[in-house]
Structure 1
């Protein structure tokens, strides 16, 4: 796709000939940033519908109406990889959402650990960052963000058929090549908060039948750095899993 063609996610499936109304932030972006007008073209996408060429058929200062012309790419779900992330403060959590989206995570589950100290999270804002990242990196689906849940609750209800790698900051984890040997999707990755896991949380993780401790190097990493490092390792070693 030419880089100068705008690309937007819409929350509903589309079909040829359909007329969609774009308002608010999307309309502002197309009208006042991209300077689109009647006849301008763009690409829109949805998880279940793929990517489509569309054309502006009418607009005013706050609203655009676009017509769906033809599908240019079929639906494509990212590999069944989940990220379990203990929220951290400020824009660094938004950064994690952005990079997890770019690295192909299908679902992001927010996890409350004993040492989680992040302030109130705006799920709408996090979703907006996931959508924006998906638009920019040209993936055809947007990761689902699951509201925050206690770690103990997640482990209690965890499907043991989905291996759960977790960043083990104690140094007892396995190297990525060993940790991922023989694994296939579905798969999940858990990264704790800045203070690491509490002792009883590490005991819960080590006792769980689905968990695998992952070594992320000799240094103590910030949560956002650990997330990107771990996802990059998973992406590297998952080439033979797809």
Structure 2
């Protein structure tokens, strides 16, 4: 039997069969009680990144209480190859759009960065966490990507480990230098996307000095940051899947 038609929510609570838990999050309470209008004995799906996805049934329902019983396990969590997005700040609504698309496309970690050309210097961390949870729920993923504290691009570059694969979008790069030329796709990849106007010459020099860094063109057209995020992440995932398929074939 498939339960994909049932709505799903994310929780930080430990999940296991036959557990009885309370849904304390006001937004999820509102969603289940008011938006979906679920009643006692109605079922939905609940998941977290560690325990997987479970079928849940409502036991008690009141104004301030939502008690559910965890029934059967539907999916166990599987480890995903690490795909980290470092994204330089842009206007909040477009930044949220970029984060939403990145989560849907499979990133495992998001690092907001301040570059020389960033238009903003702060973010609403809780607003972005809410966006990440909603995108994880919508895209049927089990792993909820982590969202790191805001930091400068220069400081972030200093934390990058030696020999990590770092792909950074460079609109000044020769169009011939694309991801198709990369022959090795490791389990940990970092993609860095600049803000509007791209990286400065000084930032490009910093990125170029990193061991394992690859300067990539995303095409002839000048892309908005959120479009560049989706393009780069989608290409990385496509190349990874293609390599995995060929390795399994041979």
Indicate conservation of the 8 Å contact 2:122/2:150, yes or no.
Answer: no
Separation in 2 of the partners of 1:27 and 1:241? 43
Quote the residue 2:17 is aligned against: 16
Indicate conservation of the 8 Å contact 2:164/2:211, yes or no.
Answer: no
CA offsets 1:133-178 (integer angstroms, 9 cap, x no match): 1111101110000011111111112112320100011124721111
Indicate conservation of the 8 Å contact 1:184/1:241, yes or no.
Answer: no
What is the 5 A alignment of 1:30-179?
A: 30-118=32-120, 120-172=122-174, 174-178=177-181
Separation in 1 of the partners of 2:210 and 2:164? 12
Question: Could you tell which deviates more after superposition, 204-213 or 168-177?
Answer: 168-177
Shift of 1:67: 0.8
CA offsets 1:97-134 (integer angstroms, 9 cap, x no match): 11111100000011111111125311111011111111
2:70 aligned counterpart, secondary structure = strand
Separation in 1 of the partners of 2:131 and 2:80? 17
Unaligned runs of 5+ in 1: none
Structure 1 vs Structure 2 CA RMSD: 1.5
Indicate conservation of the 8 Å contact 1:9/1:46, yes or no.
Answer: yes
Query: What TM-score results when the alignment is normalised by the length of structure 2?
Result: 0.92
Indicate conservation of the 8 Å contact 2:87/2:194, yes or no.
Answer: yes
Quote the residue 1:201 is aligned against: 203
Unaligned runs of 5+ in 2: 245-250
Separation in 2 of the partners of 1:241 and 1:158? 25
Quote the residue 1:27 is aligned against: 29
Shift of 1:63: 2.7
2:78 aligned counterpart, secondary structure = coil
Question: How many residues are aligned here?
Answer: 241
Separation in 1 of the partners of 2:21 and 2:240? 38
Shift of 1:79: 2.1
Query: What TM-score results when the alignment is normalised by the length of structure 1?
Result: 0.95
2:94 aligned counterpart, secondary structure = helix
Quote the residue 2:247 is aligned against: none
2:133 aligned counterpart, secondary structure = helix
The alignment status of 1:6 with 2:7, answered yes or no, reads yes
